[in-house]
Chains A and B, each alone.
Chain A
Amino acid sequence: MEIIKVLESLSDNNIDFVLIGGKALLMYGSNRVTFDTDIAVKFIHIDKLVKMIYNNLNSKIVIGVNQEQYPIFAENLTEALRFVNQNDWGFIKAIINDLEFDFLYDIPIPFMKLYTNAKTKVINNCKIKIASLEDIKLMKEKSIKDRTDQMKQNTDKIDLDFINKLLHEAN
């Protein structure tokens, strides 16, 4: 499974990470199909992350969009590192084996708080941190305000409804 391979690779490269967004909600029982994977990473691990994407996973990051509205990829590690050192958008978008990954390092919760609150699961000796429901709710509430894409806004609403339903049932 690709996603597990990516999470294992993060762990092998000593990159602290927390699974967030729709994929994390899936682990709590959400049945919404997600089309990408959101992973929060520590800001100081960005260079290690980019090296991992190029050297270990043989994949690429997106560095822009051309006039035809297609993504522009950094073709090699040097170009990717130059991009992340000159830009600070708070996220790195990578395509790994045809799957879309967003690595976010500018999130509304301090990374260490997110990391400490996260639940830990072990898969193949690899510790996977999954964001707490409380933190996912906070991030969803923040992102829903920032969205301009109606479809993404709708998925945030679906996720918030799911979280609120779980909380209601548990109380």
Chain B
Amino acid sequence: MKNKSLFPDIVIKKDFINLLQNNEQHEKFYKSIISSEDFLKRIAKDFIEKKKYGNNKGIRKFK
């Protein structure tokens, strides 16, 4: 039997496509006001951060 979730069923907004579209415009605007160097450095910083808590278990070697 499926466990009943304690979480109420909160629904996705009806205008979710518009919400996504607006967010993408914000994202593009942000990228238009920062230099490409800053954009790339932000990506590099996040890559390093994610690698820190990645575990690199090497599972794929045994695929």
Count residues of chain A with CB under 8 A from any CB of chain B: 53
Task: Scan A128-167; emit 1 where CB is below 8 A from any B CB, else 0.
Answer: 0010111000000001001111001000000000000011
Count residues of chain B with CB under 8 A from any CB of chain A: 42
Is the CB–CB distance between B17 and A123 below 8 Å?
Answer: yes
Out of B17, B37, B43, B57, which one reaches A100, CB within 8 Å?
B43
Is the CB–CB distance between B54 and A91 below 8 Å?
Answer: yes
Q: Does A58 contact B (CB under 8 A)?
A: no
Q: How many A-B residue pairs have CB under 8 A?
A: 125
Interface residues of chain A, those whose CB is within 8 Å of chain B, are 1-4, 23, 26-29, 33-36, 43, 46, 62, 64-65, 69-71, 84-91, 93, 95, 98-100, 102, 106, 119, 121, 123, 130, 132-134, 143, 146-149, 152, 166-167, 170-171
